[in-house]
Amino acid sequence: MRWGSWRYIVVAAGSTWGGVMLPATVSGAESVALLPVLPAAAPSAVVPPLLSSPLGLSPAQPETLPPVPMAPVPPLRPAQLPAALPPPNTPSVLLPPTRPAVLPPLAPTLDPPVKDLTPPGFAADPYPPAGPGGHAEVPGHLNPAAPAGGGPFVSAELLLFRPRRGAFDFVIPGTAASLATTGPVESLNYQLQPGVRAELGYRFGASGWDALAGYTYFHSAADRTERAGPGEVLFPTLTRPGLTDNVTVAAAVANLEYNLYDVSLGRRFVVDDHLALRAYGGLRFASIRQDFRAYYDGLDARRAVVSAASNFQGFGPVLGAEAVFAGWRGFHLYARASGGLLTGQSDNPLAETNNAGQTTYVNSGYNVRQVVPVASVGVGGGWQYRTVSVRVGYEITQWYNLIQQPRFTDDVAQGAVVTRPANLSLEGLFVQVGLAF
């Protein structure tokens, strides 16, 4: 290329597109469609000649560009054409939409059936509501410890107790040739005997309150015989000193008759799914009779008899509580405790005779009105289901200073007497069966 030769710059003019909104019909419903509209072909662009070359060269002649070919427009159906087309290069105009046709409602869809996978035994309500004469289940298998409904309830207990008491001695073995007392103090022991306890109560609806009446009966006995061996002698402990001091045979018998009458008002509490409590308070009447007789013979005694009975009758307030801790399948732990103060009359007669009842040495007694404390505690376990309960446990009951036995202490002073307070306790097994209606 020679210096000074010039080229022409060609600029091509593009085409613009315009559009109009045309109504169209789709599936029976009117819609709006935007269709392209091509404007008329633009004239060929002519590039103006350039300025004269600064080198004095002649400018080139202008060159005419060929027209740009236009894509053919497909013909539109008359139903789709608007009444009048807008002029070229006119911005698109949105026609107002028409109201769409109402579509028919869809048919309801049916869900596939659901298979019941509930394990057997879980389909029923585990805590059904209480009905007439029925009970609602309490969580933790606490029926009948804390039933939700009201109604009567009963319980019966078989008691297997051994009573124990103080001031139950009657003789001391010793040596005849010695002034020293070397033998042990021999005392009676009550036998292990059965007893009964029964309770009848009523629950006042779902409030938790209940009223109860109970009765306890127990009877026991004791007996023992001591004989002096060769070179031995027996020293009585119940006779008046200086009169019947040495014997060769000593025997003693005793009987206990134990009656309790209780009435109480209590309330039951459900602490959680496994623990239920019952607190109660009421009155107790007690009748406790003890007969104690000692028989002596030989040496100073000729069919001598000493009688030292103790009888108490009294009443007073009693407070207590019960607890049930339920576990697996109705098995549970059980505990109860109570305490009270009973005021009443304590009669403690004392009589001593010799010569087969022909000679009287003592005919006295110590009768006093006193307050006797009592305490009881029991622990055990059992099983319960709905309205039935079975429990087995161990119980201890202590009566403090129930016995006030008089003893003469001097062989000269006839009024030298003291009282020996003694306790009475009962301990052993209990088997309880309860039923709630």
pLDDT higher than 70, residue 44: no
Alpha-carbon distances of 312 from 178, 259, 403, rounded to whole Å: 41, 11, 8
What is the model's pTM? 0.67
Give the pLDDT mean for 184-202.
Answer: 96
Type of residue numbered 68: V
Question: Measuring CA to CA, which residue among 382, 272, 388 is closest to residue 332?
Answer: 382
Contacts of 401 (CB under 8 A, 6+ apart): 370, 372, 373, 421, 422, 423
Q: What is the pLDDT of residues 110-134, one digit of tens each?
A: 566 666 666 554 444 444 444 433 3
Handedness of CA 93, 99, 104, 105 (dihedral sign): positive
Tokens of 218: 């127990």
pLDDT higher than 80, residue 81: no
Tokens of 401: 């200073």
Question: Measuring CA to CA, which residue among 164, 149, 153 is closest to residue 198?
Answer: 153
Residue that is written with structure tokens 């613009």 in the block: 16
Helix (H, G, I), strand (E, B) or coil at 172: strand
Contacts of 367 (CB under 8 A, 6+ apart): 345, 346, 347, 348, 349
pLDDT higher than 50, residue 174: yes
Q: Which domains does the chain have, with CATH numbers?
A: 1-96 (no CATH), 151-436 (2.40.128.100)
Question: Measuring CA to CA, which residue among 314, 255, 260 is closest to residue 289?
Answer: 255
**Phi and psi at residue 120, in whole multiples of 5°?**
-60, 140
The three-point CA angle 120-122-127 to 5° equals: 145
Question: Measuring CA to CA, which residue among 289, 339, 283 is closest to residue 312?
Answer: 289
Residue that is written with structure tokens 């009964």 in the block: 196
Helix (H, G, I), strand (E, B) or coil at 328: helix
Q: Where are the alpha helices (DSSP H) in 196-302?
A: none
pLDDT higher than 80, residue 249: yes
Give the pLDDT mean for 23-44.
Answer: 43
Contacts of 297 (CB under 8 A, 6+ apart): 247, 248, 249, 303, 304
Residue 21 CA, chain-centre distance (Å), reads 79
- The pLDDT of residue 8 is 38
Cα–Cα dist 175/30, whole Å: 136
Strands of the sheet with 232-236, listed across from one edge: 186-187, 169-175, 232-236
Q: What is the pLDDT of residues 330-369, one digit of tens each?
A: 899 999 999 999 999 999 999 999 999 999 999 999 999 9
Beta strand residue intervals within 208-309, DSSP E:
209-227, 232-236, 249-270, 275-298, 301-308
Residue 304 CA, chain-centre distance (Å), reads 62
Give the pLDDT mean for 241-259.
Answer: 95
Tell me what the pLDDT averaged over the chain comes to.
79
Q: How many residues would you count in the chain?
A: 437
Q: Which residues share a beta bridge with 320?
A: 280, 338
- The pLDDT of residue 360 is 95
Beta strand residue intervals within 92-192, DSSP E:
151-165, 169-175, 186-187
Cα–Cα dist 329/199, whole Å: 26
